[in-house]
Amino acid sequence: MQFIDLAIIHIRSGSGGAGCVSFRKEKYIEFGGPDGGDGGRGGDVIIRTAENLNTLIDFKYKQHYFAKNGSQGMGKNKTGAKGLDIILTVPIGTEVLLENKQTLLIDLNKVNQEFLLAGGGNGGWGNQKFKSSTNRAPRKANPGEKGVELTLWLRLKLLADVGLIGMPNVGKSSLLAKITNAKPKIGDFPFTTTNPNLGLVLHNQVDFVVADIPGLIEGANEGKGVGIQFLGHIERCKTLVHVIDSTSKDLLGGYESTLNELGKYKETLTLKVELVILNKVDLLSKKELKKIIMLFKKMEINVLPISTYSKYGIEDFLNKLVKIIETEKSENKLVKVGKKWAP
Return the ∠ at Cα 168 (arms to 193 and 161), rounded to 5°.
Answer: 65
Q: Enumerate domains of the chain plus CATH numbers.
A: 6-156 (2.70.210.12), 162-332 (3.40.50.300)
Instruction: Give the pairing of strands 104-108 and 162-165.
Output: unpaired
204-262 pLDDT, tens digit each: 888 888 888 876 645 434 444 444 556 777 777 889 999 999 998 888 888 888 888 88
90-119: buried (b, 16+ CB within 10 Å) or exposed (e) per residue?
A: bbbbbbbbeeeeeeeeeebeeeebeeebbb
- Rounded Cα distance, 141 and 151, in Å: 32
- Rounded Cα distance, 249 and 255, in Å: 12
Please count the other Cβ atoms lying within 10 Å of the Cβ belonging to residue 132: 8
Q: Which amino acid is at 101?
A: K
Question: For residue 316, what is the enclosing H or E element?
Answer: helix 314-337
328 vs 333: which has the higher pLDDT: 328
Q: Is the pLDDT assigned to residue 167 strictly greater than 70?
A: yes
What is the pTM (predicted TM-score) of this model?
0.68
**Residue 97 pLDDT class (50, 70, 90 cuts):** very high
